[in-house]
A = this chain, B = another copy of it.
């Protein structure tokens, strides 16, 4: 068996194990993933299309999922001022609590670091193969600037809030 085939098989099993581990209470895998993403993304990256892009799903599916989360009072829905078509979904306090309650694997730090590096590489490759967005952290972006008056985004041309430097941005481009 070639190594790439083995990776596919491992991903298959890992996928299942991970989903089974998280799945708890009344949230399914897709809802958990969306909720977790919304908790990490900045204010420009919490629209249905963006979530769909991140989760490699269609807008239709994500729309349904976000509505389900909304019915469960885990997110709120807001319209955008600048573009009337765009909607933004933010975590409620209950939503944030649900994210906190999610369990991950429990590896010793050294091993976790090795695993995290491998996973980052793998994700990056798979994104590249499908021409997808990197969805990296704002502060690692080529448009991120540190100015005397504070952080600034050179792409959107606006000042950034302090907490946004560590959030996911849909416009993220790896620094050159």
Contacts and interface: CB of A to CB of B under 8 A. Distances in A.
Interface of A: 3-22, 29, 32-33, 36-37, 40, 54-57, 102-107, 109, 111-123, 125-127, 129-130, 132, 135
A105 B119 contact: no
Contacts of A16: 33, 54-57
Contacts of A8: 18, 22, 36, 102-105
Contact of A36 (B12, B21, B103, B106): B12
B116 A7 contact: yes
A65 to B, nearest CB: 12
A18 B123 CA distance: 9
A36 B107 CA distance: 28
B129 A4 contact: no
Contacts of A55: 13, 16
B7 A11 contact: no
Which of A17, A33, A56, A57 counts the most B-chain CB atoms under 10 A from its CB?
A17
A21 to B, nearest CB: 7
A116 B3 CA distance: 7
B18 A105 contact: no
A141 B19 CA distance: 28
